[in-house]
Structure 1
Amino acid sequence: MTTTTHAFAAHVAHAPLAPFTFERRDPGADDVAIDILFCGVCHSDLHTVRGEWEGTLYPCVPGHEIVGRVSAVGTNVTKFAVGDLAGVGCMVDSCGHCPSCNDGEEQYCETTGFVGTYNGPDTVTGGHTMGGYSDHIVVKQDFVLKVTHAEADLAAVAPLLCAGITTYSPLHHWKVGPGQKVGIVGLGGLGHMGVKIAAAMGAEVYVFSTSPGKREDAKRLGATDLIVSKDADAMAEHLGSFDFILNTVAASHDLDQFLVLLKRDGTMTLVGVPETPHPSPSVGNLIFKRRALAGSLIGGIAETQDMLDFCVKHGLTSDIEMIQIQDIDAAYDRMVKSDVKYRFVIDMQSLKAA
């Protein structure tokens, strides 16, 4: 059995998103159905619907920063009940039995790869998955997150399901904490969460940005200061002093300018994927200080739950601007210009008017 779902979708790469209806499966024994209240807008949504990444499957219903209320559960579901607040992030399935899945690192699934919340293979009904720019979603309980923030904060919780876990996972994995000096490269949707989370972990946090006008915002979010990355003298003052740098920038740029700021045994982790490769860093900058250059991809379901619980404990949510679904294309255009502080979130009630 299926249920008609109302959504906004892209039908081709270079046309506005438009109202769309399709059929979702009714909840199976292991499924949770969620009425979507809010959905964050990720740069990945824009890249996918506009065909900037290869392999977009149309019609495409984006959205992988989803919060809502449970409307139905299957007979085998024990983790959720009707009426609970719940979230869905970037993935809705994986093989479940490879070494990475067994370790709770489903995002690195080695057999099939994780199944994306949208534009992935629908392993239950066939076709491809449709995301959170819709009125409801049905997901296996093992890929649903418990949301315990106050209901008044739900819109600002939505981006945690991508921007939050993408920054929390490397900060957690590389054991960021008190007594460490941590840099965050870029102050956008990802970077602003990186600052908040690293500061809550007890680190001394600095933001690297090309925009000196962001200094006060960086401090408001929890940074000690902002370092203007195109100011050679300012950068030189911090040579060899950072324990860890989280680089959130998705544009191709010089990595050496940040690698030389790391201490011996320091690590810089990349979470942004540029459209063209970064210039190759100098091997000497790595070898002579035993520095590491690494990457990180979102986080597993268990770690994502840990992130949500951490954010509740420390009172963390995203800084957002609420939009109506009808304004999604204008929001995309503003995202291209970095004209948002710091994440758009769609009020899915606006879908009814559409």
Structure 2
Amino acid sequence: MTTVAAYAAPAAKAPLERTTIERRAVREFDVLIDIKFAGICHSDIHQAREGWGEAIFPMVPGHEIAGVVSEVGPGVTKFAVGERVGVGCMVDSCRECDNCKAGLEQHCTGTVGTYNAIGKDGEPTYGGYSTHVVVDENFVVRIPDGLPLDVAAPLLCAGITTYSPLKQWGAGPGKKVAVIGLGGLGHTAVKIAHALGAEVTVLSQSLRKKEDGLKLGADHYYATSDPKTFEELAGSLDLIVSTVSAPLEFGAYLSLLRTGGALVNVGAPEEPVTLPLFSLIGGNKILAGSAIGGIAETQEMLDFCAEHRIGAEIELIAASEINEAYERVLASDVRYRFVIDAATI
């Protein structure tokens, strides 16, 4: 065991504070990572404040981890000391079920989250708001040299969370894709959808970020607070990806889809939502969800982002600013992802 510095929430809704945690000794197939940067995801806030239900405390959040390998176990074959690597939302799975065999580890019933979970050793997992992490090599991905580590860190959640549904639902040339919300997830969705060749529309509450959206690759930008938006875009979109964590009026958004179109949710509101089923039945439309992506797809996403020079738009902060950053995320006052400089932990 090794003692390392970290920032943790000691209890639900309590401010995060500097502390120390124990990391396990490097085992045969483990990789020890010197964390350089860790992104702040809205889901960190949901979990640290028990917005999604009962959680494990003390909690060290963080599942957007970028760093450098500093030690490997004797059985490790995929990575070497000095390589640039990342860790996303999971650090283990059963590895035997149909989902695991299909590269869909995120849907394994035995998936172990990077934090706020219990590992196979019976100990709680702690996330990336720390100086080091030990992870099995099968749940580590390589960050290509073309991606700076700070802007790559958010791709380990925001990137794969949006890349996966865009790929699955066929975003590409000739397809009209809309992204609901231009935040941490939404801005990466716009970049990726544009790089895939789709015609991209941003649907945001206001036009406040319109200039940003167009610079990021959107072709169109509409305010959902304006009823004319829903009249003008009715029946015109092939795919809508919702990145917001607020409940939507699904009937209104489903009306924007063409026959057979899909609305895919990656944002997860804390509140239940209502769904008028006739908005699905009329037009043979699809309402779906998507959860991050498997390890192989996460590597594919990183390679794609490196090829297209896609990184997150970030605001780099010191660890002492985490609590302020949480409040600013809730106030939508970040463009577009806070990233913690782990050297300040």
- Specify the TM-score bucket, using the shorter chain as the normaliser: over 0.9
Measured in 2, the distance between the counterparts of 1:51 and 1:176 equals 34
- 1:138 aligns to 2:137 (yes or no): no
Q: Which amino acid aligns with 1:46?
A: I
Residues 178 and 204, structure 1, Cα contact 8 Å, conserved in 2: yes
Separation (CA, whole Å) in 2 of partners of 1:115 and 1:211: 38
> Is it true that 1:168 corresponds to 2:163 in the alignment?
yes
Give 1:233 deviation, angstroms: 1.6
Q: Return the offset for 1:285.
A: 2.2
| Count of residues in correspondence between the two structures | 345
Please say if 1:342 is aligned against 2:336.
yes
Of 309, 313, 316, the residue aligned with 1:319 is 313
The answer for the alignment partner of 1:98 in structure 2 is 97
Task: Tell me the residue number matched to 1:227.
Answer: 222
Residue in structure 2 matched with residue 50 of structure 1 by the alignment = 49
Cα RMSD (Å) of the superposition?
1.1
Distance (Å, rounded) in 1 between the aligned partners of 2:223 and 2:145: 35
- Quote how far apart the aligned CAs of 1:20 are: 1.2
Measure how far apart 1:14 and its partner are: 3.3
Q: Does 1:329 align with 2:323?
A: yes
Structure 1 counterpart of 2:29: 30
Q: Distance in 2 between matches of 1:193 and 1:212?
A: 18
1:255 maps onto 2:250 in alignment: yes
Q: Distance in 2 between matches of 1:182 and 1:19?
A: 42
- Residues 252-331 of structure 1 mapped to structure 2, 5 A cutoff: 252-280=247-275, 282-331=276-325
Partner Cα separation in structure 1 for residue 38 and residue 315 of structure 2? 12
What is the alpha-carbon distance in structure 2 between the residues aligned to residue 246 and residue 310 of structure 1?
19
Partner secondary structure for residue 178 of structure 2: strand
Residue 122 of structure 1, aligned match among 94, 110, 119: 119
* 8 Å contact from structure 1 (residues 227, 235) kept in 2: no
Q: Does 1:148 align with 2:148?
A: no
SS at match of 1:305: helix
Encode CA deviations 1:143-164: one digit per residue, 9 max, x unaligned.
000001446x211110000000
Bigger shift: 288-297 or 5-14?
5-14
Is 2:179–2:241's contact at 8 Å kept on the other side of the alignment?
yes
State how far apart, in whole Å, the 1-side matches of 2:165 and 2:308 are: 18
In the alignment, the residues of structure 1 paired with residue 76 and residue 114 of structure 2 have an alpha-carbon distance, to the nearest angstrom, of 20
SS state at 1:213 partner: coil
Offset, 1:264: 0.9
Question: Matched residues in 2 for 1:244 and 1:256: separation?
Answer: 15
The alpha carbon displacement at 1:279 in A equals 2.0
Aligned mate of 1:237, from 229, 232, 237: 232
**Which SS does the other structure have where 2:209 is aligned?**
helix
Q: Does 1:79 align with 2:87?
A: no
Displacement of 1:93? 0.4
Q: State the partner residue of 1:209.
A: 204
Range with greater deviation from structure 2 (50-59 or 85-94):
50-59
Note if contact 1:206-1:223 (Cα within 8 Å) is conserved in structure 2.
Answer: yes
Q: Is the 8 A contact 2:206 2:225 kept in 1?
A: no
Secondary structure, counterpart of 1:212 in structure 2: coil
Contact 1:41 1:343 in 2 (8 A): yes
**Structure 1, unaligned runs of 5 or more:** none
| TM-score where L is the length of structure 2 | 0.98
Deviation at 1:55, TM superposition (A): 2.1
Shift of 1:295: 0.5
In the superposition, the TM-score normalised over structure 1's length comes to 0.95
Tell me how far 1:50 sits from its aligned partner: 2.1
Give the counterpart letter for 1:229 in structure 2.
T
- Note if 1:198 corresponds to 2:193: yes
Contact 1:6–1:19 (CA under 8 A) maintained in structure 2: yes
Amino acid at match of 1:95: C
> For residue 107 of structure 1, what is the aligned residue in structure 2?
106
SS of corresponding position for 1:29? coil
* C-alpha distance in 1 between matches for 2:65 and 2:90: 11
Structure 2, unpaired ranges of 5+:
none
Contact 1:228 1:235 survives alignment (8 Å)? no
Deviation (angstroms), 1:13: 1.9
Native 8 Å contact 1:149 1:157 kept in 2: no
Once the two structures are overlaid, the 10-residue window that deviates more, 230-239 or 91-100, is 230-239
Question: How far apart are the structure 2 equivalents of 1:14 and 1:248?
Answer: 23
How far apart, in 2, do the equivalents of 1:259 and 1:41 lie?
30
Superposed displacement of residue 339, structure 1? 0.4
- Runs (4 or more) in structure 1 with deviation over 3 Å come to none
